[in-house]
Amino acid sequence: MKTISIKGFAFTIVLLFLGVSILPNICGSYEITDDFDSKIVELMKKAHMPSLVACIIKDNVTAWSKGYGYSDYYNKKNTSEDIVYPVASLTKSVTATPIMQIVENDSYDVNLDDNVSKYLPFDLKNPKYPDVAITFRMLLAHQSSLGDTTLRFTLIFKILKIPYNLMTFEKYLSNPKVWKDYKPGEGVCYSTEGIDILGLLIQQVTNQSYSDYCQEHIFKPLKMYNTSFYFSDYNKEQLACLYSWIAGFYFKRPFTQTSYVAGMGLKTTLSDFSRFLIMHTSGGVYDGVRVLSKESVDEMHSVQYLG
């Protein structure tokens, strides 16, 4: 990836299913036909998707939306655009948005090219390049030289159940094995941990929790009332059941809260998330409410070249 994390918002269709996202481009005019529905159902069968919800955004409005399959497969409960799905790495685009709000806010005096260590209680550096500063822009564009060491992260914070906080995260990041061999700014590696650091930075700069900041400054202005980072904020009837396809059967998975809240923790509905997308395709405005400046949106949708 060579872009700040929401480059994909130029696309006009969103499909959400079991926390996975697909963002294909639709060129020219379109018409929803029975054949279109049949093709989606066929692809769902091939990919073993028990449910899928989709929308098409055209001219900054939701022109079409529909649910396919069952949000609760074994109880044959139909899904809909108001069923809550965990959307995994689409969360990264949400995390990028408050960073740009902070940069816009003169009272914070933050710049995209600032050394992030200035705002953290520890010095964030690649141990192999201790004299090279890591910036907000590098983290957003996955150019910090931090790896995506999900298995190591899972072992430490999930299996060993070491508390996930600033102190343990600092110790984790001090390990040279979680960093790449190239200098920050000179290579690209997709990094969920890097986006989680941005979540910590949002907390440090604003003195609000990451979740509270997003609720106040993104979700409420956009009327995303069914969006949260925590399964505990919903009752089971609101949530799409999670399944794994094994040996020809769907096996139900528990609602396990991820430690990667800022990197992949978002839970939302298609109707809610479409408002977030429309805000971006509208230059930072939704229903007359400005969430970001047009300049910030343009920057977010621009290619971020390597140093």
Other beta carbons less than 10 A from residue 170's beta carbon: 15
Q: Specify which residues 242 forms β-bridges with.
A: 253
59-77, pLDDT tens digit by residue? 999 999 999 999 999 999 9
Does position 4 have pLDDT exceeding 70, yes or no?
A: no
Dist CA 135 CA 174 (whole Å): 17
Return the pLDDT at 29: 43
Does position 240 have pLDDT exceeding 90, yes or no?
A: yes
253-280, pLDDT tens digit by residue? 999 887 779 998 999 999 999 999 999 9
190-206, pLDDT tens digit by residue? 998 899 999 999 999 99
Q: Which residue has the tokens 């600032």?
A: 114
Mean pLDDT for all residues in the chain? 86
Return the pLDDT at 162: 64
Domains of the chain: 7-90+223-292 (3.40.710.10), 93-211 (3.40.710.10)
| Long-range contacts of residues 43-49, Cβ cutoff 8 Å, at least 24 apart | 44/17, 44/68, 44/69, 48/245, 48/250, 49/17, 49/18
Return the pLDDT at 172: 83
Between 161-175, 182-196, 219-233, 273-287, the lowest mean confidence (pLDDT) is in 161-175
Does position 238 have pLDDT exceeding 70, yes or no?
A: yes
**CB proximity list for 148: less than 8 A, separation 6 or greater:** 189, 190, 191, 192, 193
Between 10-14, 82-86, 124-128, 185-189, the lowest mean confidence (pLDDT) is in 10-14
Does position 186 have pLDDT exceeding 70, yes or no?
A: yes
106-154, pLDDT tens digit by residue? 999 999 999 999 999 999 999 999 999 999 999 999 999 998 766 666 6
Alpha helices in 48-165 (DSSP H): 91-104, 136-140, 150-154
Q: What's the pLDDT band for 173 if we cut at 50, 70, 90? A: confident
Return the pLDDT at 171: 82
How far is CA 108 from each of CA 1, 102, 201, 290, rounded to the nearest angstrom?
A: 28, 7, 12, 19
253 Ramachandran zone, left/alpha/beta (phi>0; psi -120 to 50)? beta
70: amino acid identity, one letter: Y
Return the pLDDT at 160: 59
Return the pLDDT at 214: 98
Other beta carbons less than 10 A from residue 237's beta carbon: 10
Return the pLDDT at 17: 35
